[in-house]
């Protein structure tokens, strides 16, 4: 599946396209399919997201799992600071990242 | 590309900081300029060596310096070199010229601006006035802070 | 310490308002991200993996207590209660909001600090020797010259869009504690036999993709021409540095391709021209700046020996203090490398404590080191035990300066959008391994440096042992390098061979350390043994 991610323009928070808007939880991410470029263009132009890009991910029982470790780190937070993890990130656990 | 229509026209200049009348001349490439004994306007691209123009400053009425991208800063050095060697004519920055570069461009000797995309006039005015002082001596004659400190 | 006058303050205040306006225009849509990016970068604001990151300049690594307190306050008010001290003596915050960044900068400006030119393709914050003004071996305090160059490089109109970033270091002793020759320009203040001071210019060093040791470009630049000479160096680079390939755009590539001699010749030509342009500040300005760096009022007749009754303290005393030019004093290093900790990170609470200790024990001054530690430059030997006890209580008393536990590590893939692999977990595991086995102390000086990508913020080429994280088909992999040094015996490390996974790299470091312990001769450091034995012996131990 293709999912779309970026950062909130004002706060910088990592966000995921959930079909209508942007969520901080990767579990909300939906398959953007062929629409990724359109979503990125319109959402960037309206400044609801910054530096958005589409990535490959795998749909798993725990929700979408990005193909690249970089985006898995983005989804949860720094692996060395579990205390700063994205709220409710315990849904997948740190093994999910590596 | 034909040389004669290369440069920006007078009406494309959005900001100008000179009292003299604007020359109605068309800038040609550096190579073309060096080939012609009577050319009086030239356009410098980032890869050109501004030093090639130094023997011919007296006949120049307009120098355009093109910034295809605002991240390519070679034009700053080209401008300062020309000013340091005595060029007094119009020095026009053209291309990807943005509000936030204006202050630096002015300090390097540019006195006319023909941006690809027109600048917001209020933002441009604010950008040019924001800093009351400068740390360096350049050809713009602004008095550097070290000189203010020591009279 | 240098203090701003009305002009310095006005420049920084104007910059805050300029950035506030730029951020507003971005949020209102008047600037695209492509247009805004170079502007925010020239003010130290990155977009990293998790959020915006702000890098704050700490000129030549020197901080007052009040400034350190402000860094702590900012960590609490705008970030998540901590900051990360970097290998260029700066601090960066990982969780900044764009909409609050201008307010943060305004707070910083109240203590004469800023984030100007801490990123972007411009002249960056100027680094120096962290023992400047204290070290017994310096010919002069190098910081006034760094400050002169700081002002010259701030908002320099000609050099705001260089081919690539540009880093300058200034030192003033034979010993190099600032990785001087691995900078774009390294300046060593030298003294002639007649006692005249001047500046030796090394140009074209750097780490990153193509590491180079800077060649000497001019042996002696008179101090009253130093700014002009630097301007000439930069102009040649701005005009001729490569812009066709980001990876070949640093000045080291220009100097290498042009040849050091030809580069020097062109600089001389530009220098001769610029001498007539009046760009050099007058001697009175250098005198004015120097007057801020007068030595504090050191006491005389102080005890020169500390009470070594407490063995833990004695170890810290031997490991973490450095000879001072004034009898009765030392420079003391506060390690930000507790066993298993995150190298260079400090909590707001720890920063507040370090600020108080700087006030109480070190004439209100502290330093950030390129090895990501904090130095109290002027501590009475007789008060060291008190100081150490307070540090110990706060987790800041680790006795490991320049040992295998004192690991330099970049933020790596835990924070950085450029990284290919995580650096911090590797540092933590190595640090724990050597603490558990007890070998750390036996190894003596061993500089271990870890980068999470080829950009080398973790200085891996300059480590006695270096580790480079790479991405091998989506999996983190670590290459091992041996034989680097950032010091006066500067050299670039070489890759041992095939890389290792995370567990494997920890074992590999132990393997090469064991070989050193087995083969070292009297007085040899790890680096000396490596240089004597050569790579093959270590390869044999690693790969059989």
pLDDT single digits (tens) C46-65:
999 999 999 999 999 999 99
Q: Please tell me the distance from the alpha carbon of residue C127 to that of residue C150, in angstroms, as a whole number.
A: 10
Q: Is it the case that residue C42 has pLDDT exceeding 80?
A: yes
Residues of B in contact with C235 (CB under 8 A): 77
C-alpha dist (Å) from residue C464 to C47, C341, C491, C528, C542: 32, 21, 9, 9, 16
- Report ipTM for this prediction: 0.96
Report DSSP letters for B7-72, one per residue.
Answer: SPPGGG--EE--SSPPP----EEHHHHHH-SS--EEEE-TTS-GGGGGGGGGG-SEEEEEESSTT-
Of A14, A73, A84, the CB nearest to C413: A73
To the nearest whole Å, the CA of C506 is away from the closest chain A CA by 17
Q: What is the dihedral angle through the alpha carbons of B114, B116, B117, B121, rounded to the nearest 10 degrees?
A: -10
Average pLDDT rounded to a whole number, residues C131-151: 97
pLDDT band at A91 (very low <50, low <70, confident <90, very high): low
Average pLDDT rounded to a whole number, residues B40-46: 96
Q: Is it the case that residue C395 has pLDDT exceeding 80?
A: yes
**CB contact B105 to C (< 8 Å):** yes
Q: Report chain A's mean pLDDT, rounded to a whole number.
A: 93
Q: Report chain B's mean pLDDT, rounded to a whole number.
A: 92
pLDDT (tens digit per residue) in A1-36: 999 999 999 999 999 999 999 999 999 999 999 999
pLDDT (tens digit per residue) in C219-274: 999 999 999 999 999 999 999 999 999 999 999 999 999 999 999 999 999 999 99
Q: CB–CB of C121 and B98 under 8 A? A: no
Looking at chain C, the whole-number percentage of residues with pLDDT higher than 90 is: 98
Looking at chain C, the whole-number percentage of residues with pLDDT higher than 70 is: 100
Q: Please tell me which residue of chain C has the smallest CA distance to B123.
A: C21
C-alpha dist (Å) from residue B91 to B23, B77, B134, C175, C357: 12, 13, 21, 48, 56
- DSSP-assigned beta bridge partners for residue C47: C52
Average pLDDT rounded to a whole number, residues C519-543: 98
pLDDT band at B4 (very low <50, low <70, confident <90, very high): very low
Q: Contact C540/C496 with Cβ under 8 angstroms?
A: no
Determine if the pTM surpasses 0.80: yes
Phi, psi angles (nearest 5°) of residue C332: -115, 135
Q: Is it the case that residue B2 has pLDDT exceeding 80?
A: no
pLDDT at C440: 87
Q: Spell out the residues 6+ positions from residue C181 whose beta carbon is closer than 8 angstroms to its own.
A: C202, C205, C213, C214, C490
Q: Contact C514/C524 with Cβ under 8 angstroms?
A: no
pLDDT (tens digit per residue) in A32-67: 999 999 999 999 999 999 999 999 999 998 889 999
Please enumerate, as own/partner, the contacts of B68-73 that have beta carbons within 8 Å and a separation of 24 or more: B68/B95, B68/B96, B69/B95, B69/B96, B70/B96, B70/B97, B70/B98, B70/B101, B70/C35, B70/C38, B70/C161, B71/C38, B71/C121, B71/C161, B72/B46, B72/C161, B72/C243, B73/C121, B73/C158, B73/C159, B73/C160, B73/C161, B73/C162, B73/C238
Q: Is it the case that residue A94 has pLDDT exceeding 90?
A: no
Q: Please tell me which residue of chain C has the smallest CA distance to A84.
A: C80
Q: Contact C332/C379 with Cβ under 8 angstroms?
A: yes
Residues of C in contact with B139 (CB under 8 A): 277
Q: Which chains would you list as touching B if contact means 3+ CB atom pairs under 8 Å?
A: C
pLDDT (tens digit per residue) in B84-132: 999 999 999 999 999 999 999 999 999 999 999 999 999 999 999 999 9
Q: Is it the case that residue B3 has pLDDT exceeding 50?
A: no
- DSSP-assigned beta bridge partners for residue B63: B42, B91
pLDDT (tens digit per residue) in C208-218: 999 999 999 99
- Choosing among B106, B111, B145, which should be mutated to test the C contact, i.e. which has the most C CBs within 10 A? B145
Average pLDDT rounded to a whole number, residues C492-501: 98
Sheet-wide strand order for C197-203: C127-128, C168-171, C185-191, C197-203, C216-222
With residue C39 as reference, give the H or E element that holds it: helix C33-41
Residues of C in contact with A77 (CB under 8 A): 50
Q: Is it the case that residue B72 has pLDDT exceeding 80?
A: yes
Average pLDDT rounded to a whole number, residues C390-415: 97
Residue with tokens 């093994």: A95
Q: Do chains B and A touch (3 or more CB pairs under 8 A)?
A: no
DSSP state of C206: B
Report DSSP letters for C130-185, one per residue.
Answer: TTTTTBTTBSS-SHHHHHHHHHHHTT-GGGSS-SS-B-EEEE-BSS-SS-GGGSSE
- Choosing among A51, A69, A77, A97, which should be mutated to test the C contact, i.e. which has the most C CBs within 10 A? A69
pLDDT at B25: 87
Q: Which chains would you list as touching A if contact means 3+ CB atom pairs under 8 Å?
A: C
């Amino acid at each position: 599946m293709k999912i779309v991610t970026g950062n909130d323009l004002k706060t910088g928070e990592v966000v995921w396209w959930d079909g209508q808007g942007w969520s901080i939880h990767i579990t909300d991410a939906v398959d953007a399919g062929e629409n990724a470029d359109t979503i990125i263009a319109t959402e960037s132009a309206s400044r609801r997201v910054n530096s958005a890009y589409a990535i490959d991910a795998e749909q798993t029982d725990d929700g979408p799992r990005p193909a690249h470790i970089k985006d898995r780190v983005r989804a949860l937070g720094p692996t060395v600071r579990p205390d700063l993890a994205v709220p409710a990130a315990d849904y997948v656990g740190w093994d999910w990242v590596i | 590309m034909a040389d004669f229509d290369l440069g920006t026209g007078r009406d494309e200049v959005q900001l100008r900081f000179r009292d003299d009348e604007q020359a109605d001349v068309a800038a040609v490439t550096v190579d073309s300029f060096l080939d012609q004994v009577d050319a009086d306007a030239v356009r410098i691209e980032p890869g050109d060596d501004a030093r090639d123009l130094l023997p011919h400053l007296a006949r120049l009425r307009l120098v355009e310096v093109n910034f295809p991208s605002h991240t390519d800063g070679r034009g700053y050095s080209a401008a300062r070199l020309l000013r340091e060697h005595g060029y007094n004519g119009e020095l026009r920055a053209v291309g990807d010229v943005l509000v936030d570069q204006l202050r630096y461009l002015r300090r390097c000797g540019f006195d006319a601006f023909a941006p690809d995309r027109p600048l917001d006039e209020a933002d441009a005015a604010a950008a040019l006035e924001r800093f009351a002082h400068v740390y360096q001596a350049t050809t713009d004659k602004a008095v550097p802070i070290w000189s203010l400190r020591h009279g | 310490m240098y203090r701003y006058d009305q002009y310095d303050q006005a420049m920084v205040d104007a910059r805050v308002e300029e950035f506030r306006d730029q951020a507003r225009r971005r949020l209102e849509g008047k600037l695209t991200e492509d247009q805004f990016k170079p502007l925010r970068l020239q003010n130290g604001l990155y977009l990293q993996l998790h959020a915006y990151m702000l890098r704050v300049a700490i000129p030549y690594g020197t901080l007052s207590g009040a400034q350190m307190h402000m860094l702590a306050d900012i960590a609490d008010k705008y970030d998540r209660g901590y900051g990360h001290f970097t290998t260029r003596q700066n601090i960066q915050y990982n969780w900044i909001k764009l909409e609050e960044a201008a307010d943060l900068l305004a707070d910083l400006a109240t203590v004469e600090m800023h984030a100007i030119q801490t990123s972007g393709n411009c002249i960056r914050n100027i680094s120096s020797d962290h023992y400047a003004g204290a070290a017994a071996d310096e010919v002069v305090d190098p910081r006034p010259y760094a400050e002169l160059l700081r002002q010259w490089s701030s908002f320099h109109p000609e050099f705001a869009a260089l081919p690539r970033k540009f880093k300058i270091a200034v030192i003033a002793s034979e010993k190099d504690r600032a990785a001087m020759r691995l900078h774009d320009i390294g300046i060593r203040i030298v003294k002639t036999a007649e006692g005249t001071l001047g500046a030796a210019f090394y140009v074209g060093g750097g780490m990153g993709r193509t590491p180079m040791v800077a060649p000497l470009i001019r042996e002696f630049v008179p101090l009253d021409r130093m700014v002009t000479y630097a301007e000439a160096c930069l102009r040649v680079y701005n005009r001729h540095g490569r812009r066709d390939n980001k990876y070949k755009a640093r000045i080291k590539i220009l100097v290498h391709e042009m040849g050091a001699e030809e580069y020097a010749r062109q600089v001389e030509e530009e220098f001769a021209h610029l001498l007539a342009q009046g760009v050099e500040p007058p001697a009175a300005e250098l005198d004015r700046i120097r007057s801020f760096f007068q030595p504090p009022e050191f006491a005389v007749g102080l005890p020169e020996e500390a009470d070594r009754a407490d063995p833990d303290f004695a170890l810290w005393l031997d490991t973490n203090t450095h000879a001072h030019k004034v009898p009765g004093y030392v420079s003391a290093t506060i390690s930000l490398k507790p066993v298993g900790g995150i190298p260079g990170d400090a909590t707001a609470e720890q920063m507040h404590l370090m600020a108080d200790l700087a006030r109480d024990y070190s004439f209100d001054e502290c330093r950030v080191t390129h090895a990501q530690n904090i130095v109290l430059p002027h501590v009475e030997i007789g008060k060291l035990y008190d100081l150490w006890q307070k540090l110990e209580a706060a987790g800041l008393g680790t006795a490991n300066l320049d040992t295998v536990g004192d690991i330099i590590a970049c933020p790596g893939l835990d924070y950085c959008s450029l990284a290919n692999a995580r650096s911090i977990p590797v540092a933590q595991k190595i640090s724990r391994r050597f603490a558990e086995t007890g070998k750390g102390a036996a190894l003596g000086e061993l500089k271990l440096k870890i980068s999470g990508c080829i950009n080398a913020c973790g200085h891996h080429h300059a480590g006695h042992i270096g580790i480079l994280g790479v991405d091998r088909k989506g999996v983190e992999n670590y290459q091992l390098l041996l034989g680097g040094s950032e010091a006066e015996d500067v050299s670039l490390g070489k890759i041992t061979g095939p890389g290792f996974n995370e567990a494997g790299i920890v074992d590999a470091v132990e393997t090469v350390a064991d070989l050193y312990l087995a083969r070292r001769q009297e007085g040899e450091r790890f680096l000396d043994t490596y240089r004597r034995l050569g790579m093959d012996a270590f390869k044999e131990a690693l790969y059989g």
